[in-house]
């Protein structure tokens, strides 16, 4: 096949490649799917020409070959995106665990709003959250309360959900609460 025939075939399948690429961008939840799709198709065509230059041959089914490249590019981009998110989360988590976090300036009345949300929890929820915040494991809490580890996990999950709901009513987001540290604001010492 001559280069002019390759160009002609590429022009014929280009709309299908763009449509497929847009569907992949949406599937993988990329922002600006049309723009991403065009970039992906162009990179795939460039990869095909590099393959052609090296091997001096054309795949039997050019459309299938390019669709495979597009799929692989999206998977690679998704892995890179997830890796960056995990690295960011890991760094934030490490900072919190090491205790070297940069404390944001507390907004006026924040402590009172947090305490108000916490005070609206039931007694058992307050107790569970205080025990967990003081470093007790699920097993240790279960032993103290004479219940099962799974029971503690379920109760804590419901308590956290309730607390988050109450905090959102007080217009406090979870990130602020985590950065400021629950112990510091509740004065929890057991």
Q: Angle 46-56-44 (CA atoms, 0-180°, nearest 5)?
A: 15
For residue 69 the two structure tokens come to 């490249």
CA torsion sign for 164, 170, 176, 179 is: negative
Which SS3 state, helix, strand or coil, does residue 136 take?
coil
| CATH number assigned to the domain covering 110-186 | 1.10.10.10
The per-residue pLDDT for 189 is 43
Say how far apart CA 77 and CA 163 lie, in whole Å: 36
Q: Which residues of 50-86 are buried (b: 16+ CB within 10 A; e: fewer)?
A: eebeeeeeeeeebeebbbebbeebbeebeeeeeeeee
Location of structure tokens 């490649």: 17
Domain definitions of the chain by residue range = 3-98, 110-186
The per-residue pLDDT for 178 is 52
Q: What is the pLDDT along the chain (190 residues), one digit of tens a residue?
A: 677 888 888 889 999 999 989 988 888 888 888 888 888 899 998 888 888 888 888 888 989 999 999 999 888 888 887 766 666 655 555 555 555 544 555 566 777 777 787 888 888 888 888 888 778 888 899 998 888 989 988 888 888 788 777 777 766 655 555 555 554 444 444 3
For residue 159 the two structure tokens come to 């308590």
Ramachandran area for residue 146 (φ above 0: left; ψ -120 to 50: alpha; else beta): left
The per-residue pLDDT for 131 is 86
The per-residue pLDDT for 68 is 92
The per-residue pLDDT for 70 is 92
The per-residue pLDDT for 187 is 45
Biggest alpha carbon–alpha carbon distance for the chain = 80
Say how far apart CA 151 and CA 125 lie, in whole Å: 13
């Amino acid at each position: 096949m001559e280069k002019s025939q390759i160009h002609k075939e590429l022009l014929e399948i280009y709309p299908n490649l763009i449509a497929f690429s847009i569907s992949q961008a949406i599937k993988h939840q990329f922002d600006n799917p049309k723009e991403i799709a065009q970039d992906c198709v162009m990179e795939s065509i460039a990869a095909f020409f590099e393959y052609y230059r090296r091997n001096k041959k054309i795949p039997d089914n050019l459309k299938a070959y390019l669709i495979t490249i597009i799929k692989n590019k999206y998977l690679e981009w998704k892995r890179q995106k997830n890796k960056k998110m995990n690295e960011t989360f890991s760094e934030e988590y490490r900072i919190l665990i090491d205790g070297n976090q940069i404390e944001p300036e507390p907004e006026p009345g924040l402590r009172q709003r947090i305490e108000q949300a916490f005070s609206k929890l039931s007694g058992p929820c307050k107790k569970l959250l205080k025990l967990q915040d003081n470093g007790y494991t699920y097993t240790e809490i279960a032993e103290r309360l004479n219940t099962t580890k799974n029971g503690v996990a379920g109760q804590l999950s419901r308590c956290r959900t309730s607390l988050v709901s109450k905090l959102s009513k007080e217009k406090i987001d979870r990130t602020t609460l985590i950065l400021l540290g629950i112990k510091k604001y509740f004065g929890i010492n057991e």
